[in-house]
Amino acid sequence: MEREFLFLKPNTVRRGLIGEVISRLERRGIKIIALKMIWVTKEQAEELYQEHKGKSFYNDLIDFVLSGPVVVMILEGPRVIEMVRHIIGNTDPLKASPGSIRGEFGMSVTKNIVHASDSLESAKREMKIFFSENEILNYRLDV
Ligand code: CMP
């Protein structure tokens, strides 16, 4: 069973799209095992995006994710990373397929609705920035 980390960016919260995103995941049978709304700290944002440090868009990206509350969650399921990345679409909303979350709601590469980990290793690392073990819940999903 795989676990995936998902981060709903501040403008997703400001635009009232939390339910829209969660609903699309739930409709595909994806199980949410941890979920909370937080105001990210600078340290957390820098840790999340450490691989982008020094890139031209880095400072704007950090400022953006600190600009308002976000929703963080951990998802679980077979091949959940692949499934989530398929549902959210390409990082660039212009390249994302129209039926995907980014293809439908994304405004720009920075304001692209969500961040999702791209591998098992990055999911493991990124979920630890925001969640402790006791926030991850074990229950049965009826699907
Ligand atoms: P995300 O999935 O949050 O992971 C890294 C983020 O960096 C990415 O989504 C984009 O928001 C941002 N990003 C990546 N490439 C660019 C780019 N060329 N210009 C602006 N932002 C970018």
Extents of the domains making up the chain = 2-134
Share of the chain above pLDDT 70, in %: 99
Q: Is 110 in the pocket of ligand 1 (CB under 6 A)?
A: yes
Share of the chain above pLDDT 90, in %: 99
Report the predicted TM-score, pTM, of the whole model to 2 decimal places.
0.96
Mean pLDDT of the chain: 97
Q: What is the pLDDT of residue 90?
A: 98
- Quote the pLDDT of residue 126: 98
Ligand 1 centroid distance, CA of 28 (Å): 25
Q: What's the topology of domain 2-134? A: Alpha-Beta Plaits (3.30.70)
Residue 102 marked ligand-binding: yes
Question: pLDDT for 13-36, tens place per residue?
Answer: 999 999 999 999 999 999 999 999
91 in ligand 1 pocket by Cβ < 6 Å?
yes
Q: Kindly state the average pLDDT of the residues 99-108.
A: 97
The pLDDT score that the predictor gives to residue 137 is 98
pLDDT on residue 143: 67
Q: Which helix (H) or strand (E) holds 74?
A: strand 70-77
**What spacing in Å lies between the alpha carbon of 138 and ligand 1's midpoint?**
32
DSSP letters for 14-70: HTT-HHHHHHHHHHTTPEEEEEEEE---HHHHHHHTGGGTTSTTHHHHHHHHTSS-E
The per-residue pLDDT for 142 is 86
**What φ, ψ does residue 110 adopt, rounded to 5°?**
-75, -50
Question: ipTM of the assembly?
Answer: 0.94
What six digits make up the tokens of 74?
């951990």
